[in-house]
Structure 1
Amino acid sequence: MGEPVWSPVHEDVVGLLADHPADVPAVVDHLTKLQDLLVRLPPLEESCPLADFNKLYLTITSSVLDGLYDDRFSDPVFLARLDVEFATRYFDALRYWTDSSPSTPQAWSCLFERMHGPDARPLPSAAAGVNAHINYDLPFALVTTFDSLESEPVDGGEQHRDYLEINRIFAERIPGLRRGYLDNWQLMIDMLNGDIDDWYQGELVEYTRNVAWRNAQKIWRCRHDPEARECERVRLDGTAAALGRLLLSPLGAFLQ
């Protein structure tokens, strides 16, 4: 029998994942503790690909929490519930991987498989995690949120505007986050490019989250049809997995 998935911090990770965060502060706490564990995973340790994504996710979620405290959102109940449902799908994927379950989404498996090597560059690793979380997890998290609140994904309403406000949080945090993943020579190129890379990646996040909203609306319409919903799940998982593998490939690293 091989080593546990998270050796040498396996028991700590299992214990962390056994608890389900019920609110946004608990999500931030979970992500913080998980980050502390991920950077201790051999052989990559500080350069663990999953840690590269988790750091980004922690930063964005902390900013969402600040926004909730600062009354940034029109419907904080919706935003908080979505944040918890969104995080739940990430933690569920980690639990499935921990149990070597075939239920682990392909979109996440391509990143999880890199935790023990071969090494992947930090920016593509973070991008692969964002891809899995937005392109696969987010539509279903939206559907679960709307269902629990007895609402629905309608364009132009308060909840949709709050959803779009997250794009602005990404735009505010992307420059600092992205440069944190770059080597010195990449930082020189980035300086020469000015704001072009920040603008491009902000536009990409906005486009991807808009697609996730449309996919949520599509799933919403078939939510009472298990077969149709499963078809959507398989489709989104396959598409996100293909993109994730590209991002983690040498070509993906070059493009980043």
Structure 2
Amino acid sequence: MTTTRQPCAVAADLHGVAERMRALDAQLPAHDGVAIFNRVYLAVTEEITRRGAAGFFRDPSSAAVLAAGFAGRYLRAVEAAAAGERAPACWRPLFQQRRHPGVSPVQFALAGINAHVGHDLALAVVDTCASLACRPAALETDFERVGDVLAALEERIREDLMPGPDLLDVADPLTHLAGSWSLDRARDAAWAASRVLWGLRHTDGLYGEFAERLDEGVGLVGRFLLTPLG
């Protein structure tokens, strides 16, 4: 039987992670790579909250649990790095390169999305299913709708952070690098990974091994996205 949390509780969770993102934004230098990702992700979190209140999601409470847990994984990684602890492999390239002068703002933003969607989203689906006593299939519709909001994040990044067309051409390395990563493919992979992880959750050691390899693979993609071009 599915257990659904009260709407006021899940709304509070989303407001809470948004407040933590605002506090982080106030603390970080504007050109810090984490700050760049944090600003666009805060906008997405606020949009998910607005859409949830407007009835955009099939099950607003479950969608909010997923969104809050998803954001929480990013915030915990940031807190671990700030405390000098070892962050997940998917986030380490961004934390290590965050002040590199040869990395452009759009690279920082895409590296953050890669880490968050490629790794955190799959684990957030599993966490949500465990919390609500449901299977991933029960979340699929709202997973896709959260993904639609994430697509708006990618569009905003490309519009706001890419240099204008007068400054780039198809042969420019930044154009090539930014165009080589796909949010749609990352979302599809995250959904497939969440189903595999759910199926492995009771196996001895396999869940942890798969999650670790996923983390490392996403981190490797992040390193390529953060190749200094300046």
Q: Determine helix, strand or coil for the equivalent of 1:72.
A: coil
Residue-by-residue CA offset, 1:2-35 (whole Å, 9 max, x unaligned): xxxxxxxxxxxxxxxxxxx951111111112211
**What RMSD, in angstroms, separates the aligned Cα atoms of the two structures?**
2.5
Residue-by-residue CA offset, 1:34-63 (whole Å, 9 max, x unaligned): 112112xxxxxx211111111121111111
Picking from 219, 225, 228, the partner of 1:247 is 225
Q: TM-score, normalised by structure 2?
A: 0.83
AA aligned to 1:175 is: E
Q: Which residue of 2 aligns with 1:13?
A: none
Q: Which residue of 2 aligns with 1:35?
A: 25
AA aligned to 2:187 is: R
How far 1:190 moved relative to its partner?
A: 7.4
Q: Which residue of 1 aligns with 2:46?
A: 62
Query: Contact 2:41/2:153 (CA < 8 Å) preserved in 1?
Result: no
Structure 1 gap ranges (5+) = 1-20, 40-45
How far 1:182 moved relative to its partner?
A: 2.2
Matches within 5 A, 1:89-108: 89-102=73-86, 104-108=87-91
Q: Which residue of 2 aligns with 1:238?
A: 216
- Alpha carbons of 1:172 and 1:141: their partners in 2 closer, same or farther (altered >3 Å)? closer
Q: Which residue of 2 aligns with 1:127?
A: 110
Q: Distance in 1 between matches of 2:120 and 2:219?
A: 12
AA aligned to 2:44 is: I
Q: Which residue of 2 aligns with 1:25?
A: 15
AA aligned to 2:217 is: T
Q: Determine helix, strand or coil for the equivalent of 1:23.
A: helix
Q: Which residue of 1 aligns with 2:162?
A: 182
How far 1:118 moved relative to its partner?
A: 4.3
Query: Contact 1:49/1:119 (CA < 8 Å) preserved in 2?
Result: no
Q: Distance in 1 between matches of 2:168 and 2:125?
A: 35
Q: Distance in 2 between matches of 1:89 and 1:67?
A: 21
Query: Contact 1:32/1:58 (CA < 8 Å) preserved in 2?
Result: yes
Identity across matched positions, percent = 27
Q: Which residue of 1 aligns with 2:124?
A: 141
Q: Which residue of 1 aligns with 2:98?
A: 115
> How many residue pairs align between the two structures?
213
- Alpha carbons of 1:230 and 1:79: their partners in 2 closer, same or farther (altered >3 Å)? same
AA aligned to 1:229 is: Y
AA aligned to 1:227 is: G
Query: Contact 2:126/2:197 (CA < 8 Å) preserved in 1?
Result: yes
Q: Which residue of 1 aligns with 2:72?
A: 88
Alignment of 1:169 onto 2:153 = no
How far 1:147 moved relative to its partner?
A: 0.7
Q: Which residue of 2 aligns with 1:12?
A: none
